[in-house]
Chains A and B, each alone.
Chain A
C-alpha cells in the first residue's frame, strides 16, 4: 500500500506520519509537496498536523488553496482514501471536503494530552479493525478543535453514522467532563458521505508505538490497510 504525506509550508507532523508509515507499518510512503498536482499514484493521502501558513488567518484557510488541494479533492471524489489529522482535519473542513468548522477550544488554551475516544462506527475504512464502542487512548494537541456544524448537518452526520470518534472518559462514557475542547456532541472525528475522507483532531501517529505510551492509534492504520487489501 502506498501512502502520500502532503507537506504544506508550516506542516510539522509530516515527518511523524512518514516515520510511522515507514518504520512502524512498513509500507511505502512519499512526501507530497503542496505544489504537486498529481496524486493518482497513492492509495491513501495523509494531511498531517501542524500550522500550515502559520494558521495566521484561520486554521487551514490558506492551505486549502494550495495547488495540491485540487488534486486531493479530485482524488477523494474518485473514492481515494484521505485522512486529515489535526491541522489536516481543519484543512479538509476549510476545503469543504468535510462539513463544519473549528472554533477555539473553550478553555482558550492549546491542549496537549492523552484523551479517550469511543469508536462510534466500526464499519468504515478507518475503523474496521476496531469494535463498536471500543475506547482508544490517543493524544490531542491543538488550539482549535471545538467542532461546530449546523443542526441539520449534525443530524445527518449522526443518522448516516459519519461521526466516527467521540471524546469519552476512560470507561467509554461520553460526558461533558471528557470533552477537552467544547466540540459539538463531543465529536473528535467525522467522515464524508462516502466514508473515504476522514478527519480527526487526535493524533493516531503519536499512539503507534509502545514506547510512546499507547498503540491505540494503530487500529486506524491497520483498518485502512485491511480495507485497501480487501478492496484491491
Chain B
C-alpha cells in the first residue's frame, strides 16, 4: 500500500496519519476511501481553518454549514433551504454532462434536507468569447443545465455570466438551488438508532467517475484532460425527478430517520458522514449494492454514479419505504445497518474488506497553508488611469458597453432554461434579482448571485466585500430584505502562497461584510485548483443571496414604469474607474483599485431603499453596478420601454460620472409629490438623493453627452451574445 498512496494523491504525512489511526497498514479498499475522503474536495483541509471566521448564526438560522445545505426560518411555519457549489472541472472535461450532473448534485442537496426544490441559479465564468473553445463550453454548459433542470421541472431563474480570458481552459460552473418546506420536515444526513437499516435508493452503481470529482478536483488541467473523458459521470434527470418525488413522500410520511445524497466519494462519503454526524457505526454489505457492471469492492465504495440516495430507516418502516420506492419505479435495497461504536465496517460476500473509524474518514487533516501577498498587485495598482484619453462620443461608448460580452442581454441563455415552471417566478430573469412567490402566503423570495472577479483580482478583500454588498443590493432593489447567503469560492492551487493569500483575503472580506450587514453564511463550497497551463483563474468568490419580500406588493423591477416620474439616484457618484467595465472595453485594461466600499454607508443606503419601497414611494429600483450609472439607466429604459431626459450638474468629468462603478447606489423612480418624503427618509440616514430628471419619450438623454433611441440601445444589447457566440465579431 505504501507505494500506492502517492498515486492516489495522499502525502507521506497523510499516509502516516492513516497508519496511526488504524494502528496497521490500510488495505486497498481502505486506502481508496481515505484518499478520496481526505482529498481537498471532500475534506476542505486547506480551507477549513480560514472558513471558521465566517459568521453563521442568526436567530432564524435553523441549520448552518456542515450539513447538505443551509436552512433559514422565514416564518409562517416555512423554512428555506439553499446552497451553492461548483462543478468546474467536470464541466471543463465534458461541458454538457459536467453542468447537468452539477445541477443533479445541488438539487439532491436540497431535497435531502426535506425541501422541494423551487429554483436554480447558475453563476458561470467563461474565457474569451471570440474563441471557439469558449463557445463550445458555453453552449454545452447552458444546454446541460437546461437539459437536466428543465426535465426536473425546477425553474432556472437567474445567475450571471462573466467572460475573462483567465477562464479560457478552466470555466467556472457554479450552481445554486433553493428549496422550501414546512419547518417540521427538516431532515438531516444523520444515521442513528442502532439496528436501523441503511437503504440505498436510486440508480444502479457503475464505474462512473471512479475517482471522478476528487481526483479531477485535485489535479491541475493540462492537455491530458481529454483522456479523462470516460470517468465523467452521466446524468439521468428522469431518475432524479422520481427520487425527488419518492424522497419527499417518504419524509412527508415520517418514514426516515436520516437522508443523505451520494456525491463525491460515493458510498464512502455518505456512510462515513452520516455515521460520524450521528456518533454511530455502520455495517455495509457491498454485494447487495445493485450494480450495472462487475466491480471490485473498492470501486463500489468510491463510485460516483449519480442519482443515488442513502436513507436510514427504522425496521418497522422498512417495508413501507421499499413499497414507496417500488411505486416510483426506483431500486431500493438494504445495504447496511447502523451499529454501536464508530466503526464503518464493509463486507463483501461475508468477508470484511474494510474497518475504519467513521469519524476519521469524515474529518480529514487540517492545514494552515503559507500565504504571501502576490507581486502583481503593486503593478496593477500603479497603472496611471488619470493619463488615459477621454472619449469624445459618450453615446458610442455606452452602446459599446451595452453590447459588450459582460453586460449584454442574457436572453439567449435564460430562454433555454424553463424559468416559469412551478408558477412561482413573478419577476423573470434579466432583472436585478429573481422573485419567487410563496403560494398560499403574501410573501416572496428575492434571490440573486454576484461575484465580480475582476474586482477580487485587483483587491481580494475589497472585491469580496463588494460581492456581498452587491448581491444584497440586488435583493433590495427587488424589494426584499436580505436574510442569509451561500457562497462558492473558486480559486487556484492552495499550495501556492500567492493564491492562498488571495483566498485568505477574500474570506476575510466575506466574513467582515457578512458580519456587518448581518447576513449569516449558512452554506457554501470551496473549489481549489482552478488553473490551466499553470496559470490560476481570477480569484472568484461567488455570493448567492436570499432575501424575503414580506408583501408581494413590494416587489420591484428595474424598468421605468411610467411617464413623468422622477429619476433619482440614491447614493453618491465618485470618479472611480479602477477595475471598471469601461476600462476593460474602451482601454483594454484590467487595472487600478476597485471602487471603495463603506459598509456602514452601504447598509444605510439599502435600508433607505427598502423603506422607501415599503412606503410605496419608490416605483422602480435598479442597482448600479458594472458599466456604471449610464448602463444602469440604459437598462431601466430598455426594460420599461420608456425613455428619460436627465440633466446632471457635476464637477466630475462626464466619462467618470457616466461609467464610474461607485458602490452603494440605486437608480429609482418616484412621483414628484413623493420627493419630499424620499428626501426625509434618506436625509435621516445621511444618504444623498440626487434628482436626475424625468421619465418619458423614447430616448435616453443625459445633458449633451448622450442622446440615444431606446430602439438603438435595445439593438446594441439584445442579440449581442448570440452574435458573439456565432463568431460574427470574432
Contacts and interface: CB of A to CB of B under 8 A. Distances in A.
B325 to A, nearest CB: 13
Most buried by B among A13, A110, A139, A203: A110
Contacts of A212: 420, 423, 425-426
Interface stretch (A49-57, A90-98, A165-173, A188-196): A49-57
B415 A112 contact: yes
A56 B241 CA distance: 14
A206 B420 contact: yes
Contact of B426 (A15, A20, A143, A211): A211
Given A10-B241, A110-B146, A55 B419 contact: no
A226 interface: no
A157 interface: no
B226 interface: no
A203 B153 CA distance: 14
A212 B237 CA distance: 27
Give the interface size class of chain B: 20 to 34
B552 interface: yes
Most buried by A among B150, B153, B328, B437: B153
B599 interface: no
A112 B418 contact: yes
Interface string A192-232: 00000000000101100101110000000000000000000
B150 A110 contact: yes
B621 interface: no
Contacts of A70: none
Contact of A112 (B152, B242, B417, B426): B417
Most buried by A among B237, B418, B423: B423
Contacts, number: 83
A110 B328 contact: no
Interface string A11-26: 0110110011001000
Contacts of A209: 423
Interface in B311-365: 328-329
Nearest to B426: A211
A9 B414 CA distance: 26
5 contacts: A16-B423, A54-B236, A110-B147, A141-B150, A141-B420
B153 A12 contact: yes
A53 B152 CA distance: 11
B630 interface: no
Given A10-B238, A51-B151, A51-B238, A15 B422 contact: yes
A206 B242 CA distance: 23
A153 to B, nearest CB: 30
Nearest to A19: B423
B647 to A, nearest CB: 34
- Ranked nearest first, the 9 interchain pairs of A and B with the lowest CB-CB distance are A12-B153, A54-B238, A51-B151, A141-B418, A112-B418, A110-B146, A110-B416, A16-B423, A113-B415
Interface of B: 143, 146-147, 150-153, 236-239, 241-242, 328-329, 414-423, 425-426, 428, 437, 439, 552
Contacts of A112: 150, 414-420
A57 to B, nearest CB: 11
Contact of A205 (B143, B415, B423, B425): B423
A139 B237 CA distance: 23
Contacts of A203: 420
B419 A51 contact: no
A111 interface: yes
Given A13-B421, A56-B238, A212-B426, A111 B415 contact: yes
Looking at chain A's contact residues, is the secondary structure mostly helix, strand, loop, or mixed?
mixed
A156 interface: no
Nearest to B417: A112
Given A13-B421, A206-B420, A211 B237 contact: no
Interface of A: 9-10, 12-13, 15-16, 19-20, 23, 49-51, 53-56, 109-113, 139, 141, 143, 203, 205-206, 209, 211-213
B721 to A, nearest CB: 13
Contact of A9 (B152, B237, B238): B238
Contacts of B418: 110, 112, 141
Contacts of B236: 54
A174 B143 CA distance: 29
A213 B421 CA distance: 14
Contact of B151 (A16, A20, A54): A54
B416 A12 contact: no
B19 to A, nearest CB: 47
Contacts of B421: 12-13, 16, 49, 141, 206
Nearest to A52: B238
A13 B416 contact: no
A9 B421 CA distance: 17
A103 to B, nearest CB: 18
A10 B426 CA distance: 25
Contact of A111 (B153, B241, B416): B416
A109 B420 contact: no
Given A9-B329, A110-B146, A110-B416, A50 B423 contact: no
Most buried by A among B152, B416, B420: B420
Contacts of A20: 423
Given A110-B146, A113-B415, A206-B421, 20 more contacts: A9-B328, A10-B242, A12-B151, A19-B423, A23-B439, A50-B153, A51-B153, A51-B238, A55-B151, A109-B143, A109-B415, A110-B143, A110-B417, A111-B416, A112-B150, A112-B414, A112-B415, A141-B421, A205-B423, A211-B426
Contacts of A205: 423
Contacts of B237: 51, 54
Contacts of B416: 109-112
A49 to B, nearest CB: 8
Contact of A139 (B150, B151, B328, B420): B420
A97 to B, nearest CB: 24
A109 B236 CA distance: 19
Contacts of B414: 112
Contacts of A53: 238
